[in-house]
């Protein structure tokens, strides 16, 4: 039985969804998208809403935080989940996107007198810069594998942070202020202001949907099949004629592009960035989200991105006796990751192939 047929005949929600006609699946996806756009108003739902919304941070801002974490998880999933490349420095691409936007738009930038661009004009330039950074990182390093590649990407992220901290051009801890917000107005008032984060969440959600459509098409194309072959056995893929270096470089560039999108949205909403925003811990957190949600599966990456943002924000303002739970957010998050990895090592929503691989391994090690 083929993998696709096995998926369609399997039980559970995904099995049911796969057996439905295309128009039923389309209606379900449309309803899910509408529900996602209505999330800012979930607090108005009796009984359920107050248990979900955050207390220490306003709920729309928490939703926007989730949106750029989801973008980062989707981008890293391309690199780690699809192509099988261990990247520990993904925050570097997030930083390049944010700093690219700041350099072109902030009055604090040395380029401002020559450019002085609005946010929307700076987006394509910042994304191109991020993709170039991905190619520059990937070109000399993608011949490495495993731990060696991970160490190189880790060094890339640290180089970005140190350059941002120590150079006068990137202003270190002083950072860049007055980065313009996205354009648009309604009734004479700006849509993207400083008091209401709902439009930022809707913008982030729209970008996420577009990224999902693009990555899904790539996964089902020749590029996606090449990534799968490289992830399973790079040497065998190369012998079979797959241009492994080319497609690994593609994965790095596309992952960098999506990470840069997150940085652009973050800079446009915050209107301020500095070097302390882009620490190594950020990369590790996003990688943990991808693995926890289900590496190689977009739904798993989305869930992982939501959890790594929602859990700390939900703990804000909560206390257990005299103990502020937010102070122990990383301990609680770490315990949750350990529990998930012990009980469900393939992730919360694993890819079909990954789940079948783990089942086969269980059969191999089971006592006869």
Three-state secondary structure call for residue 319: strand
The 3-state secondary structure of 68-87 reads HHHHHHHHHHHHHHHCCCCC
CA gap 68, 221 in Å, rounded = 26
How many structural domains are present in the chain? 1
| Residue found by looking up tokens 């194309």 in the block | 221
Taking the alpha carbons of 329, 340, 352, 14 in that order, is the dihedral positive or negative?
Answer: negative
Domain assignment present for 328: no
Domain assignment present for 90: yes
Contacts of 344 (CB under 8 A, 6+ apart): 350
pLDDT in tens, 70-123: 999 999 999 999 998 988 989 999 999 999 999 999 999 988 877 778 899 999
Residues 251-266, mean pLDDT to the nearest whole number: 95
Domain assignment present for 337: no
pLDDT in tens, 315-346: 887 887 778 888 888 888 888 888 988 888 88
Domain membership of residue 177 as a residue range:
57-279
Domain assignment present for 71: yes
Domain assignment present for 103: yes
Domain assignment present for 207: yes
| Residue found by looking up tokens 């910042």 in the block | 126
Which of 44-58, 89-103, 233-247, 339-353 is predicted least confidently? 339-353
Which of 133-137, 344-348, 359-363 is predicted least confidently? 359-363
Provide the percentage of residues in the chain whose pLDDT is more than 90: 48
Domain assignment present for 145: yes
Residues 176-204, mean pLDDT to the nearest whole number: 91
Residues 161-184, mean pLDDT to the nearest whole number: 91
Closest CA to 304 of 328, 320, 288: 288
CB 38 within 8 A of CB 200: no
CA gap 120, 264 in Å, rounded = 10
Closest CA to 311 of 295, 287, 335: 335
Q: Where are the alpha helices (DSSP H) in 38-114?
A: 49-52, 59-76, 91-105
Torsion angles phi and psi, residue 184, rounded to 5: 125, 145
Is the pLDDT at 232 greater than 80, yes or no?
yes
Q: Give the pLDDT confidence score for residue 9 in this predicted structure.
A: 46
Residues 217-231, mean pLDDT to the nearest whole number: 91
Q: Where are the beta strands (DSSP E) in 103-246?
A: 185-186, 189-190
Is the pLDDT at 361 greater than 60, yes or no?
no
pLDDT band (50, 70, 90) for residue 2: very low
Q: Give the pLDDT confidence score for residue 352 in this predicted structure.
A: 72
Select the more confidently predicted residue: 131 or 3. Answer: 131
Q: Give the pLDDT confidence score for residue 3 in this predicted structure.
A: 46
Domain assignment present for 14: no
pTM here is: 0.90
Q: Give the pLDDT confidence score for residue 98 in this predicted structure.
A: 95
């Amino acid at each position: 039985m083929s993998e696709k047929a096995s998926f369609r005949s399997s039980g559970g929600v995904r099995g049911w969804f796969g057996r439905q006609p295309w128009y039923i699946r389309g209606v379900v996806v449309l309803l899910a998208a509408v529900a996602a756009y209505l999330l800012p108003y979930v607090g108005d739902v009796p009984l359920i809403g107050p248990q979900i919304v955050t207390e220490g941070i306003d709920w729309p801002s928490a939703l926007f935080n989730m949106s750029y974490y989801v973008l980062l998880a989707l981008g890293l999933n391309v690199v780690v989940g699809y192509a099988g490349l261990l990247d520990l420095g993904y925050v570097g691409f997030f930083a390049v996107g944010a700093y690219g936007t700041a350099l072109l738009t902030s009055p604090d930038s040395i380029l401002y007198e020559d450019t002085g661009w609005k946010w929307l004009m700076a987006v394509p330039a910042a994304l191109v810069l991020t993709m170039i950074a991905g190619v520059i990182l990937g070109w000399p390093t993608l011949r490495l594998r495993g731990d060696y590649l991970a160490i190189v990407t880790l060094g890339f992220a640290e180089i970005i942070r140190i350059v941002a901290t120590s150079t006068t051009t990137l202003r270190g801890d002083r950072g860049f202020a007055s980065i313009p917000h996205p354009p648009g107005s309604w009734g004479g008032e700006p849509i993207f202001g400083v008091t209401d984060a709902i439009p930022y969440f809707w913008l982030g959600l729209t970008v996420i949907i577009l990224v999902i459509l693009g990555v899904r098409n790539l996964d089902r194309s020749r590029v996606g099949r090449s990534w799968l072959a490289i992830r399973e056995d790079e040497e065998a893929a190369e012998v079979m004629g797959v241009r492994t270096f080319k497609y690994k470089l593609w994965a790095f560039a596309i992952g960098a592009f999506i990470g840069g999108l997150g940085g652009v949205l973050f800079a446009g909403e915050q209107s301020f960035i500095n070097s302390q925003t882009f620490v190594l811990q950020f990369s590790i957190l996003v990688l943990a989200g991808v693995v926890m949600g289900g590496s190689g599966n977009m739904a798993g990456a989305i869930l992982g991105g939501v959890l790594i943002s929602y859990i700390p924000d939900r703990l804000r303002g909560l206390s257990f006796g005299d103990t502020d739970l937010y102070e122990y957010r990383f301990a609680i998050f770490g315990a949750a990751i350990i529990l998930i990895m012990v009980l469900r090592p393939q992730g919360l929503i694993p890819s079909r192939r990954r789940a079948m691989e783990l089942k086969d391994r269980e059969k191999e090690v089971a006592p006869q």
